Amino acid sequence: MYHIAASTTHILTMTASADDEYVQLLAELSQYNMLLEQLQSTLAEGFINLGRANFHNKDSLRGRYGADYYDESFTGLFTAAIDKDNHVSKVAIPEPVQESSDEKSGAAKDDEKTTRQRKDKSVKSKEKPKNKDPIMMFAAGFSVPSSLRESQRNFKSSTAVMFDLINCRSDILKRIEQLKAE
């Protein structure tokens, strides 16, 4: 009789720990579902705002905002990186280092000094920083409708949700594999 009671207690403790694992899995599934709903709403709002911007731009010579409209000079501000645990994170793309006119070698500066004495000293080469906002390719950003800016904001915020969604899915799959192994 004692042997049966001891094994029953062991089974109960095993099921309690397994229940905790299943409760954690359900919590992760709930979070995954919430992230899916959040992604759906941000993408829907982004496309609605893009439709509004296209409606306001209907009389333009270039037509609708989309793949035919932009000039493909924008390369992006970040990439996605995957670590050893299959978690995705956002990584900023480093800006290329440009040598300014002030950072030239000493010999080159001496050679230019005589030439510069002949020229006006106030004239300097001004390097404009590249604008990293892709919305600037649409009419230089001056006449862009506010709905297009809101659409951009919606799509930018959806990338963070996508990363969270991918990471949550990875955690769920790991937990399922652990539960199958037990």
Q: CB of 167 within 8 A of CB of 88?
A: yes
- Per-residue confidence (pLDDT) for residue 79, from 0 to 100: 82
Residue 175 falls inside a structural domain: yes
- Per-residue confidence (pLDDT) for residue 150, from 0 to 100: 93
Residue 106 falls inside a structural domain: no
- Per-residue confidence (pLDDT) for residue 139, from 0 to 100: 64
Which residue, 128, 74, 119, 121, is CA-closest to 100? 128
Range 33-60 average pLDDT: 90
Q: 165 is in which domain, residue-wise? A: 2-96+132-181
Residue 103 falls inside a structural domain: no
- Percentage of the chain beyond pLDDT 70 is 58
Among 102-106, 148-152, 154-158, name the one with the lowest average pLDDT. Answer: 102-106
pLDDT digits (tens, 9 = 90+) for 96-136: 655 554 554 555 555 555 555 555 554 554 555 555 677 77
Residue 172 falls inside a structural domain: yes
Range 23-32 average pLDDT: 95
Residue 45 falls inside a structural domain: yes
β partners of residue 93:
none
Which residues fall within 8 angstroms of residue 179, CB to CB, at 6 or more apart?
18, 21, 22, 25
Residue 112 falls inside a structural domain: no
Number of domains in the chain: 1
Instruction: State CA 159 to chain mean position distance.
Output: 4
- Percentage of the chain beyond pLDDT 90 is 29
Euclidean distance between CA atoms 172 and 10, whole angstroms: 27
β partners of residue 79:
91
- Per-residue confidence (pLDDT) for residue 144, from 0 to 100: 78
Residue 110 falls inside a structural domain: no
